[in-house]
Amino acid sequence: MSQRHEPAGHARTRLMPLPEEHWDPRTRKLLAIAPRDPGSRVPNIFTTLVRHPDPYEQFLPFGGQLLRRGRLPDRLRELLILRTSCNTGARYEWGRHLPLAKAAGITDADIDRVTEGPEAPGWTDLERHLIQAADELNSGATLSDATWEALARHFGEAELIEIVMLVGQYHMVAFFLNSTGVRLDPGFDSTGCAERARSHG
């Protein structure tokens, strides 16, 4: 079983989003291409990360490649991200990805299973192996031979690379969110993961 971390959603905010009145020309240019929430609001993750503009500039296209232009089906990608959010206690990540997951066809029953782990009844064989992969990468930073071979029956080399990089990317994002205490944006709900994970952990 993977090691779950205490949820970080109520941790003290260590870095605040950069207020718009402090955006210099480069910051404005970088944030101009960031995804927007309703009302043209820039999500807190971006207005916080942009305090270090050099990695921010590289982060957005790489993250967009995995999120929007990757080879994994949307449903499978979001299952991996949600399980990684649970494993790292990243409430922000969980809350932001719930709407994306539901748009990809992930049901409330699926979301319950995400918090229960790979042994929860109802997964397909492929989904169970993906959840197991997220857990193995979280706990040991590698995939077991059995999990790799199971996934290789469904995916080619590029998809196998993408699975590992996707989970790694969202670990990195969780480390940033949890350590800086980024607050979830208005209109998003982070409840569910931490409470159910504790009950099943």
Chosen CATH of 71-200 out of 1.20.1290.10, 3.90.180.10, 3.40.50.1370, 2.102.10.10: 1.20.1290.10
- In order, the DSSP letters of 136-185 are HHHHHSS--HHHHHHHHTT--HHHHHHHHHHHHHHHHHHHHHHHHTPPPP
**Residue ranges covered by each domain of the chain:** 71-200
For the cut 60, the answer to whether the pLDDT of residue 4 exceeds it is no
This prediction has a pTM of 0.91
Q: State both tokens at 178.
A: 């949890």
Q: pLDDT tens digits, residue range 39-69? A: 999 999 999 999 999 999 999 999 999 999 9
Residue 201: the pLDDT is: 43
